[in-house]
Amino acid sequence: MTPRPLGPKQRTGQAIRWIIQMSEKRKNVKLEQRLAREILAIIEGNSEVLKLQEQQHSLALANRANATVRI
């Protein structure tokens, strides 16, 4: 299998899933506060979501380079 970019809806859905997943690790009780803090962390550039996205991107690039294209 050759890695392919996600479509616009898939990208949005994946981003939302990652934000919710990482916000669940925060210590605030209310969901709204956790989500708000996670979004602020993304804006500031120090969120785990950004690290996860970069990790996935580099993994896909490495796999794409190793994959053979068959027509």
One DSSP character per residue, the chain reads: ----PPPHHHHHHHHHHHHHHHHTTS--SSHHHHHHHHHHHHHHT--HHHHHHHHHHHHHHHHHHHPPP--
Please check whether residue 36 lies inside any domain of the structure: yes
pTM summary value: 0.74
Stretch 8-25: mean pLDDT: 92
Query: For residue 69, is pLDDT > 60?
Result: no
Domain range for 56 is 8-66
pLDDT at 2: 66
Please check whether residue 31 lies inside any domain of the structure: yes
pLDDT digits over 26-50, tens only?
888 899 999 999 999 999 999 889 9
pLDDT at 35: 92
Looking at the 3D structure of the chain, how many domains does it have?
A: 1
